[in-house]
Amino acid sequence: MAVASILLLALGLVLSFYVAWCLGANDAANPTECAVGSGATTLRQALVLFSAFAALGALTHGFMVIKTIGTGVVQDVTLLGSVTVILSACLWITVCTWKGLPISTTHSIIGSVLGYGFTRSLLYGGAGVRWGVMGGIGIAWVASPVLAALLAALLYRIMVAWLPGRRNPEQVAKHILMFALCFSAFAFGANDVGNATGVFFSVASKTGEIPRTLSLLGLAVLGSTGIAVGAFTWGYRVINTVGFKITRLDYVMGGAAELSNATAVYLFTTLPFLIFGWGMPISTTLASVGSVIGVGMASNFRTVSRGMVLRIVAGWLFTVPSCAVISGVSFWLAAGTLGP
């Protein structure tokens, strides 16, 4: 392997850790916002649980989605392409996290991969984006928040009817919410670690020195470590937005929302893998926010902040095209200087 390629691979791994940090900073809110927003636990305790169970999910299930992003959306991702994809996504996620906006990091990565694949096809010909795979991902992007919202509303109604008959219902609701936090963090790690490291699956496996299984395990460790660091540094920014500014949460609402979020993410990760051989990289942010909106509407529609919801949706709509443009232009400029 040429020295230049080794140096580029090393740079790309550093950038993978950076995007994992971005994931932790922006997406730590997804499993923790309900527990923190309802007052069931402190921010620090929630982040400890998030980091532990996200790592567990990444190490045990992360390989399902790492393969999808790394070699599924496009035919292949070169070393230079990996660097431009990751850097482009990182820049967008960092700016949005700084503003406290819960954008989709999945959309950021996929958008960057799309921009790279399209530009590479224009420059060098050959296969670019696998639109069949992308179509399936697009369907999941739309279905996941809708499913999470509907499931959250249903679970909320069930819990409201079931809890009054329990001894100390408030404590029972709190226990359900804490379990949901752990399950949601596990599902998040399983699905989202691929966002940080998936584009390096094909690259690392090409070195000829790293066995495929060890490559996947190493990437999962790298991603889960970066996610934990991001959660403990900037995670509070987006947690404050989703946990306190969309609707007022209590234990019952939080438990219903978090359970529905976790269930939706876990099912989209595992079922496609069992059926097709690759997990579906959905947006855990869309599922999370969708579930919070769902319980808010089931409880009292007037408590949902329409202004905040519209601001979040606008961020989602701009993410894919913005990242695709940034990535495509970056690869075009880099390839003109360094080659493909």
Residue 279 DSSP code: -
**Predicted confidence (pLDDT) per residue in 238-290, tens digit:** 999 888 888 888 999 999 999 998 888 888 778 877 887 766 666 778 888 88
pLDDT by residue (tens digit) across 84-124? 888 898 899 999 999 998 888 778 888 888 888 888 888 88
Summarize the confidence of residues 294-314 as an average pLDDT. Answer: 82
For residues 197-212, give the mean pLDDT.
Answer: 58
Closest of 1, 12, 7 to residue 87, by C-alpha: 12
Q: Would you give the distance in Å from CA 147 to the centre of its chain?
A: 17
DSSP-derived secondary structure letter, 215: H
CA dihedral sign of residues 308, 309, 311, 315: positive
Angle between helices 29-37 and 169-197 in degrees, nearest 10: 160
pLDDT confidence of residue 134: 65
Q: What does the longest C-alpha to C-alpha distance in the chain come to?
A: 69
Give the residue among 124, 183, 127, 116 at the shortest CA–CA distance from 155. 183
Q: How far is CA 53 from CA 32, 179, 188, 224, 270, in A?
A: 12, 11, 9, 10, 17
User: How confident is the model at residue 25, as a pLDDT?
Assistant: 94
pLDDT at position 198 is 63
Supply the DSSP symbol for 98: H
Residue 136 pLDDT > 80:
no
The mean pLDDT of the chain is 82
Least reliable range by pLDDT among 191-200, 204-213, 322-331: 204-213
